[in-house]
Amino acid sequence: MQLTEAQRMIYNTAKSFAEREIRPHVRERATDETFPLEIMRKLAENGLLAGPFPEEYGGAGIDNVSYVLLCEAIGGASPSVFTAALTVQLSLVGTAICNFGNDEQRRRWLPDLFSAKKVGAFALTEPNVGSDPAAMELTAQRDGDDWVLNGSKFWISNGAQADLIVVFAQTDPGSRHKGVAAFVVDGDAQGLERQDIPDKMGLTASNTAALFFDGVRVGDDRLLGAAGDGFEIAQTSLEAGRTSTAACAVGIIQSCLDACVSYAKQREQWGKPIAGHQLVQEMVADMATDCEAARLLTIQAAQTRDAGEPATKHVVMAKHFATEAAVKAARTAISLHGGVGYLREYPVEGLLRDAIGLSLYEGTTQIQKLLLGREVLGVSAF
């Protein structure tokens, strides 16, 4: 795979940051469920939180290929940090505001997101509405010059910590995607209550919350685009998110592979390192192949986005393949480690729990396959 000097440099910088600042503390952060705000600030200080956004708004102006390499490096060390800092803060919230906000809105919010002065969240899912977001029940009704939001959101990453929340709401009940609008709501807005969702099986250092809107008032200056643009804003942002999540999954596979190679060379059975047993080699060979295949699909998706071409097909392929391959790699890595793979002291069981989360958020594997089926067949099964 041909990478430019600049792309390699971004990967190497992110990788050494991840190995120095993130990986050594993964276990204690997962146990304490510590939200990684301090790491987000350090990422910003090191120029790693500004992503593929224009420099005039505080972005780093890097290409999408560089960005997925950065996501691979950070996500491979901690999928929780990746979730909070990269896919939510940058890919979802950053994209929604940068692509659909006006100049004043971009200047008001983007520099604070890219410097970690503010934390962002992206609130699409609801208690009754997941894979079919056009059915959303949270409403935004006109009242004078304001919009009034009523309803609830569920599963919102960064939700309890966020200063800014991109909230999707239905302005015309019954109209499905046509009436969806996106608003930027302050985390401390009057009428908004937030509750942590505890006890996730993985991604424990990333916050997940339920949000309750009871007459939350926002003005037009909080509306991104026009009232009916919300569905497109969600889909465009999710496409950015899915590309980055595929990259995080590649990072997980690479971490599993590295752990397996190291363990297989030092653990001996039948008088020789287990690396010399054929079925152990098969496990490592399959993992190495999946790692490269997932990386190539992810880079292809990023290149298609960089070329400004329709990228849905490549993005959903990368997302479902890489996240499921990460689940498989982590499961295999536990087997290869034998009994110790089942201990929290070793990193691979945690990677399995995190990888499963990646296969669910930003659309489940089944939803990615339905989107891909529609691209390939030209027939929608939704």
Q: Which residue is nearest to ligand FAD (CB)?
A: 130
**The binder of ligand FAD chosen from 10, 44, 97, 123 (CB under 6 A):** 123
In the complex, least distance from residue 133 CB atom to ligand FAD, rounded to whole angstroms:
8
Cα–Cα dist 382/365, whole Å = 14
Interface with ligand FAD (CB under 6 A), residue total 23
166 in contact with ligand FAD (CB under 6 A): no
For ligand FAD, the binding residues in 1-60 under the rule CB under 6 A are none
Q: Quick one: how far is CA 207 from the chain centroid?
A: 13
157 in contact with ligand FAD (CB under 6 A): yes
Which tokens in the block code for residue 27? 């276990």
Question: Residue-wise over 54-64: b if at least 16 C-beta within 10 A, else e?
Answer: eeebbbbebbb
Query: One symbol per residue from 271 to 290: x for binding ligand FAD (CB under 6 A), - otherwise; what is it?
Result: --------------------
Active-site residue flag, 324? no
**The binder of ligand FAD chosen from 65, 156, 246, 249 (CB under 6 A):** 156
Cα–Cα dist 236/100, whole Å = 10
Assess contact for 334 and 261: CB atoms under 8 A. no
Using the contact rule CB under 6 A, the part of the chain among 29-37, 118-126, 216-224, 244-252 near ligand FAD is: 118-126
204 in contact with ligand FAD (CB under 6 A): no
In the complex, least distance from residue 135 CB atom to ligand FAD, rounded to whole angstroms:
10
Residues 60/62/68/74 CA torsion (nearest 10 deg) = -30
**The binder of ligand FAD chosen from 16, 31, 46, 131 (CB under 6 A):** 131
Residue 29 or 337 with smaller CB distance to ligand FAD: 29
Query: One symbol per residue from 70 to 99: x for binding ligand FAD (CB under 6 A), - otherwise; what is it?
Result: ------------------x-----------
Q: Give whole-number Cα distances, 259 to 87, 264, 333, in Å.
A: 25, 8, 8
Cα–Cα dist 126/151, whole Å = 9
- Active-site position among 21, 72, 349, 362: 362
**The binder of ligand FAD chosen from 78, 357, 368, 371 (CB under 6 A):** 357
Cα–Cα dist 256/254, whole Å = 5
Output the CA angle 129-133-139, nearest 5 degrees.
80
Output the CA angle 29-165-51, nearest 5 degrees.
70
Cα–Cα dist 19/30, whole Å = 16
Catalytic residue positions, numbered: 362
Q: Contact positions toward ligand FAD, by CB under 6 A? A: 88, 122-125, 130-131, 155-157, 200, 203, 208, 357, 360-364, 366-367, 370, 382
